[in-house]
């Protein structure tokens, strides 16, 4: 007799009690597909001489297959990496005001390009442009998909087939994919690098001006710093040189916070207002770095230049949707009250969270962690940590923080990888980092109202055997 005929039929598996409850949850189509896959794989395995699986084993595989297919890919996680604006984890978490605005805009039609006062057609930039001007001192503003798009659109509009003069020390790469020279050539502009890596002077710019020069550009070297014998030309001097030659001076600020975060003990990061006050004609910055909003690229500056940028057909290809604008408007509105930013803008709150508060959270949670790890050959303790701001903002500065260090008791580190994998396998994955032979969980970004959920998650931790 052919052993394959002993495998249950598709219909038989579909009528098993656990499988039919999966159908109720997820629908017949998905479950039937998984049942076929499981039976197909079992048939192959048996043909290769494997043992005949029991019906219960097949049903378990169907359950696992359906779970794998129906779990959303974009899952919320606990960011305990110690990097607040973690690009791979979606950068800034949005404040509640922005979440509510986003939901409202998602759920119903909204006045995206409709002027409610006149009943006529509107402009989607008008959702935020007044706020952006108020907060930066600029004449006009526009919004695109991200700061890379903002820089690209600016160059393509104002410097196509022309030259852009940039200091050699500012030809940066951000996150592997954004390189100033590459963006420049894709935008159709010719890069003229001047000065040296560590020192660039005003005369380097002046000597390279020519009939094809479109603009002078400054790129904020967000993610690295050079120390020692260095010189960069101040923005006001570059602006003056550009204006003497009837050229615009543009600044890619990268992060761009709208309020001086040094008031909260963070290092000073240049603001768009400062760049505009120094004479910049256009400034670009990200929505989801220090600003703490949704992914977006913000362009602010001279009215005539913004008008030209908005007329570029590529603006249409790079524009943002209503969800972004809804969240951005809500976050910008919070900046009108700078005294309470550190309470209301989630990213700012996490960046300014005092170390003592983080340590107190660690003390509350340590017993739960120790319970979860009981029986494993590791020691867990509270340690002082240094968090990073992330996303290339303020690269050399570290924020004093606290969290857990989990170390193997013996020499073998394999147990750390198992714990790290178990933390990632939780329904809301916990993402830490392994450094110098220890698994570190930095508690800076664990919001106080998430502590209970985090403790419950730890209680469910199941560390696999090696």
Ligand X SMILES: *Cc1c(COP(=O)(O)O)cnc(C)c1O
Residues that bind ligand X (CB under 6 A): 146-148, 151, 174, 178, 219-220, 222, 252, 254-255, 286, 297, 392
Taking the least distance from each CB to ligand X, the nearer of 318 and 372 is: 318
CB nearer ligand X, residue 242 or residue 291: 291
Return the number of the residue (148 or 422) whose C-beta is nearest ligand X: 148
Residue 415's nearest CA partner among 378, 365, 370 is 378
Torsion of CA 132, 135, 138, 140, to 10 degrees: 20
Residues 6+ apart with CB under 8 A from 28: 14
Q: CB of 64: closest distance to ligand X in angstroms? A: 37
261 contact partners, CB below 8 Å, separation of at least 6: 267, 268, 269, 290, 348, 351, 352
208 touches 192 (CB < 8 A): yes
Instruction: List, in sequence order, every residue forming a beta bridge with 231; answer none if it has no partner.
Output: 199
Query: Shortest distance, CB of residue 151 to ligand X, whole angstroms?
Result: 6
Burial per residue of 391-418, b for 16 or more beta-carbon CB atoms within 10 angstroms, e otherwise: bbbbeeeebebbbbbbbbeeeeeebbee
Cβ-based nearer residue to ligand X, 274 or 420: 274
Compute the distance between CA of residue 64 and CA of residue 414 in angstroms, rounded to an integer: 26
Nearer residue to ligand X within complex by CB, 87 or 100: 87
Shortest Cβ 150–ligand X spacing (Å): 8
Q: How far is the CB of 353 from ligand X (least distance, A)?
A: 23
Rounded distance between C-alpha atoms, residue 449 and residue 224, angstroms: 34
Q: What sign results for the dihedral spanned by CA atoms 425, 431, 436, 438?
A: negative
Q: Residue 145 or 405: which CB sits closer to ligand X? A: 145
Q: Which is nearer to ligand X, 284 or 405 (CB)?
A: 284
* Nearest-approach distance from CB 237 to ligand X, in angstroms: 20
The DSSP 8-state label assigned to residue 139 in this structure reads S
Judged by CB, which is closer to ligand X: 16, or 171? 171
**Cα torsion at 293, 299, 302, 307 (round to 10°)?**
-120
Q: Which is nearer to ligand X, 332 or 402 (CB)?
A: 332
CB of 201 to ligand X, least distance (A): 22
Report the distance separating Cα 356 and Cα 346, nearest Å: 18
Q: Give every CB contact of residue 301 below 8 A, 6+ residues apart in sequence.
A: 138, 139, 140, 141, 250, 276, 280, 281, 282, 283
Handedness of CA 393, 397, 400, 405 (dihedral sign): positive
Residue nearest to ligand X (CB): 254
Q: Following DSSP, what letter does each residue of 258-307 receive, concatenated?
A: SS-GGGGTPPP---HHHHHHTT-SEEEEESSSTT-SSS-EEEEE-HHHHH
């Amino acid at each position: 007799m052919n052993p394959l005929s002993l495998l249950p039929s598709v219909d038989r598996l579909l009528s098993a009690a656990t499988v039919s409850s999966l159908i109720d949850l997820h629908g017949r189509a998905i479950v039937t597909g998984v049942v076929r896959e499981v039976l197909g794989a079992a048939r192959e395995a048996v043909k290769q001489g494997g043992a005949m699986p029991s019906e219960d084993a097949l049903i378990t595989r169907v359950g696992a297959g359906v779970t794998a297919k129906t779990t959303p890919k974009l899952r919320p996680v606990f960011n305990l990496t110690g990097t607040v604006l973690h690009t791979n984890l979606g950068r800034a978490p949005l404040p509640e005001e922005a979440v509510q605005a986003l939901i409202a805009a998602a759920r119903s039609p909204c006045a995206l390009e409709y002027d409610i006062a006149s009943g006529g057609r509107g402009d989607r930039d008008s959702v935020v442009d007044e706020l952006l001007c108020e907060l930066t001192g600029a004449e006009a503003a526009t919004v695109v998909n991200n700061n890379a798009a903002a820089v690209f659109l600016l160059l393509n509009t104002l410097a196509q087939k022309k030259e852009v003069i940039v200091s050699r020390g500012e030809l940066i790469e951000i996150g592997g994919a954004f390189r100033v020279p590459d963006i420049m050539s894709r935008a159709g502009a010719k890069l003229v690098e001047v000065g040296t890596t560590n020192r660039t002077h005003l005369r380097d710019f002046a000597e390279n001006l020519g009939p094809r020069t479109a603009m002078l550009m400054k790129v904020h070297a967000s993610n690295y710093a050079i120390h020692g014998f260095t010189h960069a030309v101040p923005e006001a001097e570059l602006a003056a040189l550009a204006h003497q030659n009837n050229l615009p001076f543009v600044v890619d600020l990268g992060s761009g916070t709208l309020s001086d975060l040094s008031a909260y003990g963070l290092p000073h990061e240049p603001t768009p207002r400062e760049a505009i006050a120094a004479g910049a004609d256009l400034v670009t910055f990200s929505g989801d770095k220090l600003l703490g909003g949704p992914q977006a690229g913000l362009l602010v500056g001279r009215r005539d230049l913004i008008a030209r940028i908005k007329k570029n057909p590529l603006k249409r290809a790079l524009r943002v949707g209503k969800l972004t604008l809804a969240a951005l408007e809500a976050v910008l509105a919070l900046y009108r009250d700078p005294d309470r930013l550190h309470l209301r803008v989630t990213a700012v709150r996490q960046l300014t969270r005092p170390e003592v508060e983080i340590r107190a959270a660690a003390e509350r949670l340590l017993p739960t962690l120790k319970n979860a790890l009981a029986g494993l050959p590791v020691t867990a303790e509270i340690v002082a940590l240094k968090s990073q701001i992330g996303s290339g903002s303020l690269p050399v500065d570290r924020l004093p923080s606290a969290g857990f260090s989990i170390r193997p008791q013996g020499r073998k580190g394999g147990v750390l990888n198992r714990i790290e994998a178990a933390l990632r396998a939780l329904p809301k994955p916990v993402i830490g980092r392994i450094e110098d032979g220890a698994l570190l969980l930095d508690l800076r970004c664990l919001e106080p109202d998430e502590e209970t959920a985090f403790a419950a998650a730890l209680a469910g931790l199941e560390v696999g055997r090696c």
